């Protein structure tokens, strides 16, 4: 499948950072879903940047829909999103040297594609390709919301500064996050994080962080055993996002240090519904949703593009070389990646819900 | 795909813990690979247990190969492994109550399969189904070894006790691990971990841990961008293994707290080969192997079966209930999961190598 | 996918003609379907032979179910069928020479698997592997029947002798066929066909034929556009069956010679239901079912194993050679292939129905 | 996969007949293949029409490539083709009534998509969507040609007029066809066929036909057993093309009436190469190529749009109605479908070759 993911609802990505366009095809989405262009634009805006914190690349990121929408509603056939690159082939990003940028895909792409890949700005490996995920994700989020399923992510930590975690019922927290440009639950954390980003910017360096995502309203019984469990399919999707190096569900790595008696979430009946008292499992048991909020945390490495001098290798000459980047680069992408995560999770869940309940399930 | 994974080399799992048999079909493995029944038996033995630490269930776990092997070599057509359940439907595991075991798949399986799933010993969600992974993995590990690619895992931590991490070139460490029943790099850690397991056993409780896996010899340029990147396909496979709640590559979650200048692995040329000075990336950039050792860490939650009383729900009556387990249950599975991880990683890499270099690549 | 087919309901085949066993894994079938062992045995018997017409190989063809069935009902997890080969490695089929049998897969398998494939009796390419299709198909046919969907095939022609075609509403014809060992609508055709088969047997030659299959009760709106249309997915499955060289839907190749005004089936409303007056489309428009009976015709080439001397090539010596087969070989397989077709079609339709309406759709 | 096909080389289609655009994404094509825009334009022109015979819809059909090509060569990442619809939402095609057109997908699309599909000109079910196949196919044909593999199709019959069939070595015939706008081997057949098309046009009716396709130079040993055999994957792809109702390989349905002694192609060694004396198998045995020319014949039903009055049903009112089409419609599409077939076959073979020999196989 390569640049595609999903079985019933299928996302296919295309484009290069400084080619003509980036975009996506979303196939299998149910017919009749209202396409809210303002919401798409809002999501694209969240992905782009927060003034002062991010790269000043100011693409308008207007999403053109070439197919799959008729009279403002999805048709059920493939929806094609195209976002043109306005700063196409600009001098700033034009790859002027054959020195591989550390922690980027320059070297691995060079080996895999034998030097034919578009090298400018990371080409097909650029974070810019996530614009297609966000455009498609806007439809997926709309469809889920109509079913009472909401998705939200916050910056659990950035450069060592922590936000407070989601509560056991994060429904209202998800709602609050949707209007925030810098997604934290505790606003004082935002200030401290912003300081860290600006410090890194000043130093020509970069920072990473952890995003915590929650899904509320997902019915129990969704997901398949073994390799199509929710953890498997979500992790596959999330690790597809550039810079992700770790994924954990519920209490994740912390569970490894707990005893079973503390880690096992007790079941209980409340108002005729089966719940768990704690949610160390993150809403998933045996790969299948248990009706509790789905919780996933994603580690984002620091942006690889930094202005400090770096040791590297000239791929054409095959010899050691020093690299000094110029141009515009984000000192952090964690706060921008948040909407990519929401979108990716929403698309995967649409797929799982349609596999489970049929292709009409998401119809209004 | 559900219980199957892979595109060129495809694993399909089947069976229930106390049904007639568990097993696997491995399709697409190259022809001509010698099938070493002793090595298969050795791997199965590693999966079973370490005396005194684990459940005394003593299945002989003899692997029968029903197809795909002719005159001791793989034919290229589907290989079917069957491991019969000798303690089939035994009283100890016979589900005597309809109270869901916390942290098991009892409840989610009940919802998904409407009560029709085999409930004994976890049925199809049991760790016993990993026997099929290990049998198939033995062929995959043999095939990779012939290409100079080795895979090994050690217990990075268990109940808070840490082993030392893999060195930057773990080739000899992988070799040393292959003969150890309790896989640690620092033998003194083994003793302390064993004490913790026995303490948990005594207390009727259980412990979890983290496994660190390494792959040496993987050529650069393997993996696809986006959703078929090595991190994506490995994470999908690893999260399929029961009790896994976290997966990280290279420095993983620790990268989230580092600066780019520290996290970026500098490239350098050494003896005409391109390497990196550090390996925070875990051998993967842009989803594609860079020729450095592939490093992945997996969080295993504590075994959900404990003997302490637990609060839960009776699924048939729909009311709160107390659960007291009897029978035989492991206080830890981390040390047994290690060979499952090696196997799963090997199968995924065989698939990726054949996708990249063709179906004959693994031929001797 | 290779030896697997399906997305929601997935069939995987394994085995060799004279290895230990042949069989199949059927994953994704809904839970709660009653498994009728007598019906399975009946279907297996239909596949085996008709006395006097077929090879006297008398395997008992007992189907063992290793997983996925609990207390007589499907669990929803993978169902594994194993049929042991009793005449395993028998002298009659033991490949004694390296001369490729014309019209068999000996040569192509030799090239693809570099000589490692099991050569006896065709190995994995043998028609015997269809036993797994029939075993799995029995469950699929049972599940469909409970939804009012019936599948049946008859020998439309054999060695030039034609049966009458299905009528426009073949429901009762399908029912009548289910109890016939030699599946024709017009019993006088059976006699003439039998004569042809016996003549071919006498002459050491073989004959082929065309099977016409019908599905009644399939709801409208099933299938996807383009590459997952019903014609696409059924043709992929049917061409997987050995000896199939042609597949046509509705009036098929005859449509190529018709005018649009004759070929277009007029729609009409009858008792509040939309039907077509004729059924040249075979129940499929745009890849999607229209509620009319689905009609597909399948061309089966004459059995490649004949006793007449044949010119061929010795694969090891690389030189021309004459081939004279011994042993037991069918002069015709058309009458046996009929139950394979019913089974294959049923499995594909289960997959399509579950993709369309969800994984619980086939639950009783 | 729905609107996608392939495992290593993957085609995804999108668009509606009178939406903004139609197009395709081609993922997994090897890097370094020269993209010949003139050849693409030539192929698009072949698909459009032959003056006087076809619909006067004169879209310029200019193919825009949005991604996956850098400095005139493929990069190895997804190639996106967009063909804008110039006559978008034109009055002629604007669906003015809710009467289902017989033999079109109007009714089945209505049921599946609950009335939300774009109804104009057939929407996503229109033959216009094949423009994306032809654009992508041009790259595939170029890549194959560089490996000595050529693909060509001719009109074997149209409205009862037959062309002569391909000879046993059709290499030069394929070459001759590539420059013909109306693809026949025997030019006198072209005249008779043209007369038939014009007669049908005059009568407000339409005609169908059979296309015969050949592939030369395909190496032996390509394809997988059972469900990924070449017949299976090609038939799945070809039945995806609108109006296709039958597919046969080699002598196809005619084989059903032959004896084995006549149908079995004798092997022979010639100049050190293994060939067959006849080619009833159409180059495929056991789903795997045998090195002989691959031969496939495709039945195309008469164009469903005719000007004669037709009986049908008004989908909104649920009652019988008479339909009289206006606008521009082809009396035949067989001659235009030929380049679609060549393209589709080429894309499938690229996929199979890369699965077999690796993702670099098609590199120049």
What's the confidence (pLDDT) of residue C60? 77
Whether D105 and chain C come into contact, CB under 8 Å, resolves to yes
Instruction: Please indicate whether, in this complex, the C-beta atoms of D356 and B358 are within 8 angstroms of each other.
Output: yes
Q: Nearest by CB to C355, which of A8, A77, A225?
A: A8
Q: Nearest by CB to D66, which of A13, A67, A82?
A: A82
A239 three-state secondary structure: helix
The answer, yes or no, to whether residue C54 has pLDDT greater than 80, is no
Least Cα separation, residue B8 to chain D (angstroms)? 7
C121 vs A296: CA distance, rounded Å: 53
Mean pLDDT of B147-174: 98
Q: What is the dihedral of CA C63, C66, C68, C71, to 10 degrees?
A: 80
Whether C14 and chain A come into contact, CB under 8 Å, resolves to no
Global ipTM: 0.97
Between chain A and chain D, the number of residue pairs with CB atoms below 8 A apart is: 167
Residues in B closer than 8 angstroms to C124, CB to CB, are 67-68, 75, 77-78
Please tell me which residue of chain A has the smallest CA distance to B219: A111
In A279-338, the residues whose Cβ lies within 8 Å of chain D are none
The neighbours of chain D, by the rule of 3 or more Cβ pairs under 8 Å, are A, B, C
What's the confidence (pLDDT) of residue C51? 55
The answer, yes or no, to whether residue B18 has pLDDT greater than 70, is yes
Residues in B closer than 8 angstroms to A330, CB to CB, are none
Mean pLDDT over the full length of chain B: 94
pLDDT tens-digit readout, A306-326:
999 999 999 999 999 999 998
Mean pLDDT of D72-84: 98
A179 band by pLDDT with thresholds 50, 70 and 90: confident
The answer, yes or no, to whether residue B321 has pLDDT greater than 70, is yes
Least Cα separation, residue D179 to chain C (angstroms)? 25
Q: What is the DSSP string of B135-161?
A: HHHHHHHHHHHHTT-EEEEEEEEETTE
Please tell me which residue of chain C has the smallest CA distance to A222: C359
Mean pLDDT of C96-124: 94
- Of A60-69, A324-333, B273-282, C19-28, the one with minimum mean pLDDT is A324-333
What's the confidence (pLDDT) of residue C88? 60
Q: What is the DSSP string of B164-189?
A: PPP-SSTHHHHHHHHT-SS--SSHHH
D275 band by pLDDT with thresholds 50, 70 and 90: very high
Read off φ and ψ for residue B297, nearest 5 degrees.
-115, 140
Exposure class string for C209-233: b at 16+ Cβ within 10 A, else e: bbbbbbbbbbebbbbbbbbbbbbbb
D334 vs D337: CA distance, rounded Å: 5
The radius of gyration of chain B's CA atoms, rounded to the nearest angstrom, is 21
D360 vs D352: CA distance, rounded Å: 13
What's the confidence (pLDDT) of residue B328? 78
By CB neighbour count within 10 A (0-12 exposed, 13-18 middle, 19+ buried), where does B269 fall? middle
State which CATH number among 3.20.20.100, 3.60.21.10, 3.60.150.10, 3.50.50.60 fits the domain covering D4-357.
3.60.150.10
Q: Mention every residue, 6+ apart, whose C-beta is less than 8 A from residue B285.
A: A103, A104, A105, A107, A108
Q: Label each residue of chain C as H, E or C.
A: CCCEECCCCEEEEEECCCCCEEEEEEECCCCCCECCHHHHHHHHHHHHCCCCCCCCCCCCCCEEEEECEECCEECCCCEEEEEECCCCCCCCCCCCCCECCCCCCHHHHHHHHCCCCCCHHHHHHCHHHHHHHHHHHHHHHHHHHHCCCEEEEEEEEECCEECCCCCCCCHHHHHHHCCCCCCCCCHHHHHHHHHHHHHHHHCCCCECEEEEEEEECCCCCCCCCHHHCHHHHHHHHHHCCCCEEEEEECCHHHHHHCEHHHHCCCEEEECCEEEECCCCCCCEECCEECCCCEEEEEEECCCCCCCCCEEEEECCCCEEEEECCCCCCCCCCHHHHHHHHHHHHHHHHHHHHHHHHCCCCCCC
pLDDT tens-digit readout, D344-353:
999 999 999 9
In A171-210, the residues whose Cβ lies within 8 Å of chain D are none
In A17-76, the residues whose Cβ lies within 8 Å of chain B are none
All structural domains of chain B with their residue ranges: 4-357
D25 vs B349: CA distance, rounded Å: 27
Instruction: Please indicate whether, in this complex, the C-beta atoms of A16 and D70 are within 8 angstroms of each other.
Output: yes
D278 band by pLDDT with thresholds 50, 70 and 90: very high
Mean pLDDT over the full length of chain C: 94
pLDDT tens-digit readout, D24-36:
999 999 999 999 9
Least Cα separation, residue C357 to chain A (angstroms)? 4
Q: Which of C9, C65, C79, C80 to mutate to test the interface with B (most CBs of B within 10 A)?
A: C80
Q: Nearest by CB to D208, which of C227, C256, C301?
A: C256
What's the confidence (pLDDT) of residue B1? 75
D8 vs D353: CA distance, rounded Å: 9
Whether A15 and chain B come into contact, CB under 8 Å, resolves to no
Q: What is the dihedral of CA D196, D199, D201, D204, to 10 degrees?
A: -120
D58 band by pLDDT with thresholds 50, 70 and 90: low
What's the confidence (pLDDT) of residue B50? 62
Instruction: Please indicate whether, in this complex, the C-beta atoms of A237 and B232 are within 8 angstroms of each other.
Output: yes
What's the confidence (pLDDT) of residue D226? 97
Of D263, D265, D257, D286, the closest CA to residue C208 belongs to D257
CA angle A291, A293, A296 (to 5 degrees): 125
What's the confidence (pLDDT) of residue C154? 98
What's the confidence (pLDDT) of residue B97? 81
By CB neighbour count within 10 A (0-12 exposed, 13-18 middle, 19+ buried), where does A271 fall? exposed
What's the confidence (pLDDT) of residue B91? 56
Between chain A and chain B, the number of residue pairs with CB atoms below 8 A apart is: 361
Residues in B closer than 8 angstroms to A236, CB to CB, are 227, 232-233, 235-236
What are the E-state strand segments in D237-309?
244-249, 267-270, 273-276, 284-285, 288-289, 294-300
Mean pLDDT over the full length of chain D: 94
Least Cα separation, residue B220 to chain D (angstroms)? 14
By CB neighbour count within 10 A (0-12 exposed, 13-18 middle, 19+ buried), where does D115 fall? middle
Q: Mention every residue, 6+ apart, whose C-beta is less than 8 A from residue B274.
A: A107, A313, A318, B220, B267, B268, B291
Q: Report CA-CA distances (Å) from A265 to A274, A333, B100, B312, D32.
A: 12, 34, 11, 9, 54
pLDDT tens-digit readout, C312-351:
999 999 999 999 998 878 899 999 999 999 999 999 999 9
pTM (whole model) above 0.80: yes
Read off φ and ψ for residue A24, nearest 5 degrees.
-155, 155
Residues in B closer than 8 angstroms to A102, CB to CB, are 264-267, 276
Let me know: does A346 contact A144? Beta carbons within 8 Å: yes
Q: Which of B22, B115, B122, B245 to mutate to test the interface with A (most CBs of A within 10 A)?
A: B245
The answer, yes or no, to whether residue C55 has pLDDT greater than 60, is no
What's the confidence (pLDDT) of residue A326? 87
pLDDT tens-digit readout, B101-139:
999 999 999 999 999 999 999 999 999 999 999 999 999
Instruction: Please indicate whether, in this complex, the C-beta atoms of A356 and C359 are within 8 angstroms of each other.
Output: yes
% of chain B exceeding 70 in pLDDT: 95
A270 vs A171: CA distance, rounded Å: 18
pLDDT tens-digit readout, D146-193:
999 999 999 999 999 999 999 999 999 999 999 898 999 999 999 999
Residue C138 exposure: Cα atoms within 13 Å on the Cβ side? 26
Classify residue D34 by its DSSP letter: B
pLDDT tens-digit readout, D34-54:
999 999 999 999 998 765 566
Length of chain D: 364
Q: Mention every residue, 6+ apart, whose C-beta is less than 8 A from residue D183.
A: D152, D153, D154, D155, D177, D335, D338
Instruction: Please indicate whether, in this complex, the C-beta atoms of A2 and B249 are within 8 angstroms of each other.
Output: no
C335 vs C167: CA distance, rounded Å: 20
The answer, yes or no, to whether residue A89 has pLDDT greater than 60, is no
Q: Nearest by CB to A255, which of B208, B220, B258?
A: B208
């Amino acid at each position: 499948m390569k640049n595609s993911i999903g079985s019933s609802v299928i996302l296919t990505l295309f484009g290069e950072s400084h080619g003509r366009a980036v975009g996506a095809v979303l196939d299998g989405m149910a017919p009749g879903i209202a396409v809210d262009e303002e919401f798409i634009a809002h999501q694209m805006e969240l992905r782009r940047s927060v003034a002062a914190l991010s790269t000043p690349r100011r693409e308008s990121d207007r999403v053109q829909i070439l197919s799959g929408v008729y009279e403002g509603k999805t048709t059920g056939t493939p929806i094609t999103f195209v976002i043109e690159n306005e700063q196409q082939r600009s001098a700033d990003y034009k790859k002027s040297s054959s020195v591989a940028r550390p922690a980027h895909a320059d070297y691995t792409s060079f080996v895999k594609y034998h030097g034919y890949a578009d090298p400018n700005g990371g080409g097909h490996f650029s974070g810019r390709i996530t614009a297609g995920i966000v455009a498609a994700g806007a439809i997926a989020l709309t469809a889920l919301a109509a079913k009472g399923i909401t998705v939200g992510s916050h910056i659990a930590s950035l450069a060592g500064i922590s936000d407070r975690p989601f509560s056991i019922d994060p429904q209202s927290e998800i709602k609050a996050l949707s209007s925030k440009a810098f997604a934290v639950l505790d606003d004082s954390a935002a200030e401290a994080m912003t300081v860290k980003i600006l410090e890194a910017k000043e130093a020509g360096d970069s920072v990473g962080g952890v995003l915590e995502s929650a899904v509320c309203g997902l019915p129990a019984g969704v997901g398949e055993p073994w390799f199509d469990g929710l953890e498997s399919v979500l992790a596959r999707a999330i690790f597809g996002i550039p810079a992700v190096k770790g994924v954990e569900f519920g209490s994740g790595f912390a569970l490894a240090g707990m005893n079973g008696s503390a880690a096992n979430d007790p079941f209980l009946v409340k108002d005729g519904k089966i719940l768990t008292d704690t949610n160390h499992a993150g809403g998933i048991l045996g790969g299948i949703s248990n009706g509790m909020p789905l919780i996933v945390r994603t580690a984002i490495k620091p942006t690889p593009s930094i202005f400090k001098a770096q040791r590297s290798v000239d791929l054409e000459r095959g010899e050691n070389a020093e690299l000094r980047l110029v141009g515009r680069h984000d000192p952090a992408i964690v706060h921008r990646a948040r909407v990519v995560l929401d979108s990716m999770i929403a698309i995967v869940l649409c797929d799982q819900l349609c596999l489970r309940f049929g292709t009409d399930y998401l119809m209004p």
